[in-house]
Structure 1
Amino acid sequence: MTEARPRSTRPRNRKQQIIAAASEQFRTSGFHNVGISDIAEAVGISGPALYRHFRGKQELLQATLVDAIDKNTEPFLGDFRDLRGMLDAVAVAMLDRRHTGVLWERELAHLPQEQRHELRARYVATIEPLRSAIATSRPELSADLVELLLRAVMAVFATMSQHAGKVEPARARLLMTDLALTICEFRGLEPREEGTEGGLRPVPYRRLLPVSRREAVLTVATRLFAERGYEAVGMEDIATAAAGMAGPSLYHHFAGKSAILVAALTRCLEAMLFDLSAALEYAEEPGQALDAALHSFVRISIQHGDAMRALLHEIVNVPAEERQAVRRMQHDYVAEWTALLIGHRPELFPAEAELLVHATHSVVSTLSQNGEIWARPALRDEIVTLGRAVLGLPADVPSSD
């Protein structure tokens, strides 16, 4: 008589295994480029077995984001002696889960609006202890300035944890904590005048389009990609918004939708590199050139937030062979900043300087992109001053003009 095989038992943490695999797949490839079969294969189960836990990919995305938020709750709830203690605990937690920020920033848009609102509310509740701690340590600040500093701090944590792989963990933790505290103690912001509007206000898009059909298509497509996400925009949508063109006529200018995205990303990076070359041409020393590059980056981030958003979030949708060229341009831009920062602060190791550059770019982008700016008349100058603080530049750098 043949002995019966023991029945395999389903791991009790199977659901968590699926969430972890989905999180990694979404982060590396983007939501629309991942199939249920890819996630199932990564876990070692079949597609139908995965559906016993989740009804579909969108529900799984929601679960990964809830998991990311909930796992980041603990460091905000400890009994801390001071603000630095809380910031240090958050730095440790973010380094342990260094890629959750990318998932949150890029993939949230793929959920229905109601679910996005629920998740944002959950996230806001999670970081509320830090908001309160900043407000307590800075009682002179208005609520909108506390919010601005909070956003900058969370941008630093998300970005530095993502790029900290080249830095020794204890050193990365110290850099993150010190920089977050520098932002919390930043004194370069003026209280809003009594009775003026606070919070965020939308910046209306310009109504004039370039005369060139190709440029009009590029302008409209960049805006639509930023508003709806690359996958949600069709060629007909772009053609209609570009002065009522017919869909097929777009192919006279671009081979396809991905070619439009590549052109938008390349245009943005070329503009940044072009401005940087001027900074290098006229500056007398590295700190001066870096400050000029910072001014340029802030201006482009405010005036061309659509392109910046596409650059940050939609590059996973660029075909692999073209993505490599775009990534190389990004790397070159960061490398130039890093060399200038080392020239100004020779005590920094290259990996540390690069980490501070990424943090600066994230703070600037967070406070100025996406078509929304703070209702503050001196916004640009304030972001520049905050960027100087992150980089360790003096508050008043001589002009290179």
Structure 2
Amino acid sequence: MTGTRPKTTRPRDRKQQIIAAASEQFRTSGFHNVGISDIAQAVGISGPALYRHFRGKQELLYATLVDAIDKNADPFRGEHAGLRELLDAVATAMMERRHAGVLWERELTHLPQEQRHELRARYIATIEPLRSAIAAFRPELSADFVDLTLRAVLAVFASMSQHAGKLDESRARLLMADVGMTLCESPELPPPGASEPARPPVPRGRLLPVSRREAVLASATRLFAERGYEAVGMEDIATGAAGLAGPSLYHHFAGKSAILVAALTRCLEAMLFDLSSALEYAEEPGQALDGALRSFVRISIEHGAAMSALLNEIVNVPPEERQNVRRMQHDYVTEWTALVAGHRPELSAPEPELLVHAAHSVINTLRRDGGVWNRPASQSEIVAFGRTVLGLPTPAQSKG
């Protein structure tokens, strides 16, 4: 019997181990930058062994998103004395699984449309108890506004749980539930009128800049937003730039990643430039913060799809160039954080930054129309929800 290999037993939770490893790999590196071999190695098995459980990477991504939704379902299904108790339970659960929102936000687009619709329907069914609790707490609200409030609350929870590393966990949960409750108590605004369209403006003619370099950037930004970075080739970008020949692109950019870096830098520089106006003309932090909020909402509505797509693709930027983009993002958030701290001196050091990230998340969430909600938010509604998260007075409070 010498030399006989001992028989090994496959763990019963092997499939769950694979899902957990894939979730972490997708979150840190991005779907396209992760191979089946990477996930298998993280679990300690071979690639062929992984294929016994999943037919491919796309099926595995779908499984990780289903797993994230189902694991967050428990607090919504439990017995709760009221809305506040439910918010506390949801905040606790989301703190335990802080990074699920990153997968949903960034990687959902890599699945077929049918699966995306299925996952959204599954998610909406999961969070229905919170929607019902908000409606019961505020019976005077319209169904549309209850939906907007629900989306704002969940955006706050997803963002704050992800960025709460510097704050004591119990304090983070309390702050999340406090902000969520304040959002649920917010007054409903009149529906958008004829002067304020509910939907973002839709580009029509798409006039291109005369400069070839600018035309390339405009073409690439649009294509990255529509298809994703990995699905776009240099020839696609050249064709979109008024029929520019593919090889001539390299006269302006070293490669596709250089175009992505330039597009990202352009977005962030525009945001920082707009923020400088809010700082220059304000007399105190709250006034500047309100100006910065309005600026960010306007930019998000006019260019939000492109901005979100570009920022989600930062995992495809080479590490040495990614650092500069991250620095610009950090600078933008730092300016907002200083304004929140100046406006609300009662907050402890990590809390203003958490509120800034939460406000940005609410704005980006509400300006999107995923095709499963009754209507997207209007610009005035997005500004109002942002004010509530940041602790800025509403127009009615200002008059009082």
Shorter-chain TM-score tier: over 0.9
* In the alignment, structure 1 residue 366 sits paired with structure 2 residue 375: no
- CA drift of 1:332 comes to 0.9
Structure 1 position 381 matched with structure 2 position 380: yes
1:15 equivalent in structure 2? 15
- Please name the residue that 1:120 is paired with: 120
1:181 positional shift = 1.3
Alignment deviations for residues 142-184 of structure 1 (CA, whole Å, 9 cap, x no partner):
2221221111111111111110111100000001111111112
Deviation of 1:290 after TM superposition, in Å, equals 1.1
Question: How much does 1:109 deviate?
Answer: 0.6
| Deviation at residue 282 of structure 1 after TM alignment | 2.1
Residue type at the aligned position of 2:11: P
State the match for 1:156 in structure 2: 156
Which residues in structure 2 correspond to 1:156-235 (within 5 Å)?
156-191=156-191, 201=199, 203-207=201-205, 208-235=207-234
**Residues 177, 99 of structure 1: CA spacing in aligned structure 2 closer, same or farther, 3 A cutoff?**
same
C-alpha displacement of 1:371: 10
The whole-number CA distance in structure 2 between the counterparts of 1:80 and 1:398 is 32
User: Is residue 280 of structure 2 the alignment partner of residue 277 of structure 1?
Assistant: no
One-letter amino acid matched to 2:118: E
Quick check: 2:22–2:39 contact (8 Å CA) kept in 1?
Answer: yes
Q: In 2 relative to 1, CA 191–206 (structure 1 residues): closer, same or farther, beyond 3 Å?
A: closer
**Cα distance in 1, alignment partners of residues 26 and 390 from structure 2:** 31
Structure-2 change in CA distance of 1:34 and 1:111 (3 Å): same
TM-score normalised by L of structure 1: 0.92
SS state at 1:64 partner:
helix
Q: CA deviation at 1:186?
A: 1.1
Query: Using the alignment, how far apart are the partners of 2:341 and 2:14 within structure 1?
Result: 47
SS of structure 1 residue aligned to 2:54? coil
Distance 2:249 2:199 in 1: 33
Distance in 2, matches of 1:324 and 1:184, equals 38
**Residue 352 of structure 1 pairs with residue 351 of structure 2:** yes
Q: Where does 1:75-154 land on structure 2 (aligned, <5 Å)? A: 75-154=75-154
* Cα contact 1:301–1:364 (8 A) shared by 2: yes
Structure 1 counterpart of 2:202, one-letter code: P
Contact residue 151 and residue 366 of structure 2 kept, 8 A: yes
Match of 1:253 in 2: 252
CA 206–319 in structure 1, closer or farther in 2 if over 3 Å, else same: farther
Counterpart residue type for residue 115 of structure 1? Q
Aligned partner of 1:286 in structure 2 is 285
Measure the CA separation in 2 of the matches of 1:132 and 1:116: 24
8 Å contact kept, 1:22–1:60: yes
Q: Shift in Å at residue 3 of structure 1?
A: 7.5
Q: What is the RMSD computed on CA atoms of the aligned residues?
A: 2.4
Contact 1:202 / 1:371 at 8 angstroms: preserved in 2?
no
**What is the CA-CA distance between 1:141 and the residue it aligns to?**
2.2
Residue type of the alignment partner of 2:64: T
Q: Is the 8 A contact 1:83 1:137 kept in 2?
A: yes
Q: What is the one-letter code of the residue matched to 2:258?
A: A
2:313 paired with 1:314: yes
Supply the distance in 2 between the matched residues of 1:371 and 1:61 (Cα, whole angstroms). 19
Contact persistence 1:142–1:192 (CA under 8 A): no
Unaligned 5+ segments in structure 1 are none
In the TM superposition, residue 189 of structure 1 has moved relative to its aligned partner by 1.9
Check whether the contact 1:295–1:384 (CA below 8 A) recurs between aligned residues. yes
Distance 1:282 1:371, change over 3 A: farther
Check conservation: 1:309, 1:369, Cα contact below 8 A: no
Residues 1:236 and 2:235 are matched in the alignment: yes
Deviation at 1:5, TM superposition (A): 4.6
- How far is 1:312 from its partner? 3.3
Give the Cα separation in 2 of the matches to 1:398 and 1:330: 32
The number of residues matched between the two structures is 394
Q: How far, CA to CA, are the matches of 2:221 and 2:87 in structure 1?
A: 36
Q: Deviations over 1:203-237 (max 9, x none)?
A: 42232222222222212211211111111111222
Give distance in 2, aligned partners of 1:395 and 1:149: 16
C-alpha distance in structure 2 between counterparts of 1:191 and 1:209, whole Å: 35
Amino acid aligned to 1:335: T
Q: Which residue of 1 aligns with 2:28?
A: 28
CA distance in structure 2 between the aligned counterparts of 1:350 and 1:398, rounded to whole angstroms? 26
- Percentage of pairs with the same residue: 77
**Structure 2, unaligned runs of 5 or more:** none
Q: Which residue of 2 aligns with 1:51?
A: 51
Whole-angstrom distance in 2 between the partners of 1:51 and 1:43: 13
8 Å Cα contact 1:265/1:307 also seen in 2: no
CA distance in 2, matches of 1:200, 1:241: 29
Q: CA deviation at 1:2?
A: 2.7
C-alpha distance after superposition, 1:37-95 (max 9, x if no partner): 11111111111111111111111111101101111111111111111111111111110
Contact (CA 8 Å) 2:18, 2:40: kept in 1 or not? yes
TM-score by length of 2: 0.93
Structure 2 residue 295 is the aligned partner of structure 1 residue 296: yes
Q: Distance in 1 between matches of 2:115 and 2:131?
A: 23
Aligned to 2:72: 72
- 139-148 or 86-95: which moved more? 139-148
